């Protein structure tokens, strides 16, 4: 399974499109993503070193907290510390969407911690919700149908036992907190209400902004979608507008939570406590913002994005020409037919391709033709680009040929 064949995948021979329109294989590309540098490579090295080392302080503090915190408070600290480390990794990589979702969760950990710390009854209510999750897992039996033999039997028994142990405490919790308890441990009390109760409404406004990513709202696409006139560019990968926002709010909410957590002893190798180190970490927002902004400006195309599917003309012996639609992302060329009239300059283009026919083991001479529409022929099987396009070391680029509709 290591080579991906079990999933119908294989190492592809990527292709590139030259400025002159000639398509050639580019075997050094073996995945569909462009190479990029993370924003952390643009930060001040001292700050980047500080951010990389900061988790050591969190881990040291966590060890001390779990010696004194139990029950609901210890559970929430488990959530929060894991999410802080996820947040910092995501920001370093420019993964703004993961950072936004994680920062949003840190706000919830903050309000939940304040809620359970204010009342033993609330802490008990938080702890009881683990039985809801256990019951859900036992009934959903996720993935069990794909397992076989001993693994399936053991997992089935585990889930059955999980549900059986949860049944009685779940019924008791439902009787105590009502039917809404199944939808969340707060039994219908909204995050907004908790934020109001604990004087966190300024943070709640940022929480709503970050929630746009979780809920798939249009406004959360600012970092991965750009309109310029009639052209729309969709970007896969880094969201460099969300990353600084998530860093600032996530670290600020984490810092607020530290005020409610027990103070920890200063780490001997650092000479400062976690609270002071977190204050220092937050000042690094300037570096995060500047690095993400520089990289973001560099990555967006000056115009529209290059097309992911282009028309390709293949010239065979005896001037036999065929059209293909090249799906660059999939690495496939689909037999196609021309839509409308043949473009101007076709004779000149054929003349440029003719001397290259037959130079590469029976492959045709191929050339991408921009601004020409072709549509795939129904029922015709696609051809892998490595079977049709010329290897780079056989054909140099053609002189530029202007072809227009």
For the stretch 273-304, pLDDT in tens is: 999 999 999 999 999 999 999 999 888 877 66
Among 207-211, 252-256, 394-398, the minimum mean pLDDT is found in 394-398
Among 14-28, 180-194, 290-304, 390-404, the minimum mean pLDDT is found in 390-404
The pLDDT score that the predictor gives to residue 331 is 84
Is 60 exceeded by the pLDDT of residue 13?
A: no
The pLDDT score that the predictor gives to residue 218 is 87
| Residues 6+ away with beta carbon under 8 Å from 387 | 363
Residues, the chain, total?
A: 405
Share of the chain above pLDDT 70, in %: 86
Is 70 exceeded by the pLDDT of residue 6?
A: no
The pLDDT score that the predictor gives to residue 229 is 74
Is 90 exceeded by the pLDDT of residue 90?
A: yes
Structure tokens at 306: 């290059």
In angstroms, rounded to a whole number, what is the distance separating the alpha carbons of residues 88 and 101? 12
Is 50 exceeded by the pLDDT of residue 28?
A: no
Is 80 exceeded by the pLDDT of residue 8?
A: no
Q: At residue 198, what are phi and psi to the nearest 5 degrees?
A: -110, 20
- Is residue 281 classed exposed, middle or buried when 0-12, 13-18 and 19+ CB atoms within 10 A define those classes? buried
In angstroms, rounded to a whole number, what is the distance separating the alpha carbons of residues 144 and 163? 15
Is 50 exceeded by the pLDDT of residue 405?
A: no
Is 90 exceeded by the pLDDT of residue 351?
A: no
The pLDDT score that the predictor gives to residue 270 is 81
In angstroms, rounded to a whole number, what is the distance separating the alpha carbons of residues 58 and 87? 13
Higher-pLDDT residue of 233, 40: 40
The pLDDT score that the predictor gives to residue 391 is 58
Mean per-residue pLDDT for 301-310?
72
Among 219-228, 273-282, 354-363, the minimum mean pLDDT is found in 354-363
Is 70 exceeded by the pLDDT of residue 20?
A: no
Mean per-residue pLDDT for 316-323?
87
Higher-pLDDT residue of 27, 184: 184
Is 70 exceeded by the pLDDT of residue 165?
A: yes
Is 50 exceeded by the pLDDT of residue 382?
A: yes
Is 60 exceeded by the pLDDT of residue 191?
A: yes
Is 90 exceeded by the pLDDT of residue 404?
A: no
The pLDDT score that the predictor gives to residue 124 is 97
DSSP category for residue 300: S
Higher-pLDDT residue of 351, 171: 171
Contacts 24+ apart (CB under 8 A), 373-376: 373/311, 373/338, 373/339, 373/340, 373/405, 374/311, 374/323, 374/324, 374/325, 374/336, 374/337, 374/338, 374/339, 375/325, 375/336, 375/337, 375/339, 376/325, 376/334, 376/335, 376/336
Give the other-Cβ count within 10 Å of 121's Cβ.
Answer: 10
Helix (H) or strand (E) holding 61: helix 45-65
Is 70 exceeded by the pLDDT of residue 362?
A: no
Share of the chain above pLDDT 90, in %: 59
Is 70 exceeded by the pLDDT of residue 31?
A: no
Distance of CA 319 to the CA centre of its chain: 47
List Cα–Cα distances, 8 to 255, 333, 334, in angstroms: 47, 17, 18
Q: Report which of 225, 238, 235, 283 is spatially closest to residue 100, judged by C-alpha positions.
A: 238
Is 90 exceeded by the pLDDT of residue 62?
A: yes
The pLDDT score that the predictor gives to residue 30 is 46
For residue 336, list its beta bridge partners: 323, 376
Is 60 exceeded by the pLDDT of residue 15?
A: no
Mean per-residue pLDDT for 336-343?
86
Among 245-249, 287-291, 364-368, the minimum mean pLDDT is found in 364-368
Give the other-Cβ count within 10 Å of 124's Cβ.
Answer: 14
Is 80 exceeded by the pLDDT of residue 127?
A: yes
Query: Average per-residue pLDDT in the chain?
Result: 85
Higher-pLDDT residue of 282, 320: 282
């Amino acid at each position: 399974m290591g080579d991906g064949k079990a999933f119908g995948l294989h190492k592809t021979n990527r292709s590139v499109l030259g400025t002159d329109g000639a398509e050639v294989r580019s075997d050094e590309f073996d995945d569909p993503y462009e190479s990029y540098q993370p924003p952390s490579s643009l930060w001040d090295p001292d700050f980047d070193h500080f951010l990389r080392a900061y988790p050591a302080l969190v881990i040291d503090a966590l060890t001390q907290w779990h010696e004194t915190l139990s029950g609901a408070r210890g559970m929430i600290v488990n959530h929060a510390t894991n999410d802080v480390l996820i947040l910092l990794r995501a920001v370093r990589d420019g993964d703004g969407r993961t950072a936004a979702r994680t920062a949003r969760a840190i706000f919830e950990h903050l309000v939940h911690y304040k809620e359970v710390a204010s009342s033993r009854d609330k802490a008990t209510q938080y702890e009881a919700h683990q039985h809801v999750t256990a019951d859900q897992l036992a009934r959903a039996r996720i993935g069990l149908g794909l397992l076989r033999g001993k693994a399936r039997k053991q997992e089935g028994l585990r889930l059955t036992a999980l549900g059986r142990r949860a049944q009685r405490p779940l019924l008791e919790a439902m009787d105590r907190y009502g039917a809404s308890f199944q939808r969340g441990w707060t039994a219908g009390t909204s995050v907004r209400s908790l934020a109001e109760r604990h004087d966190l409404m300024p943070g709640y406004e940022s929480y709503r902004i970050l929630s746009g990513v979780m809920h798939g709202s249009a406004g959360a696409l600012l970092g991965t979608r750009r309109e310029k006139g009639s052209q729309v560019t969709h970007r896969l990968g880094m969201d460099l507008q969300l990353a600084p926002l998530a860093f600032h709010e996530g670290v600020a909410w984490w810092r607020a939570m530290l005020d409610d957590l027990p103070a920890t002893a200063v780490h001997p190798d650092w000479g400062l406590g976690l609270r002071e180190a977190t204050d220092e970490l937050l000042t690094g927002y300037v570096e995060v913002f500047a690095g993400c902004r520089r990289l973001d400006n560099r990555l967006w195309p000056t115009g529209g994005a290059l097309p992911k599917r282009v028309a390709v003309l293949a010239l065979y012996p005896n001037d036999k020409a065929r059209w293909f639609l090249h799906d660059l992302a999939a690495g496939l060329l689909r037999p196609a037919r021309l839509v409308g009239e043949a473009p101007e300059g076709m004779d000149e283009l054929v003349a440029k391709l003719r001397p290259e026919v037959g130079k590469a083991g029976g492959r045709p001479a191929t050339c991408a033709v921009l601004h020409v529409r072709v549509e795939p022929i129904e029922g015709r099987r696609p051809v892998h680009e490595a079977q049709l396009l010329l290897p780079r070391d056989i054909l140099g680029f053609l002189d530029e040929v202007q072809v227009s509709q």
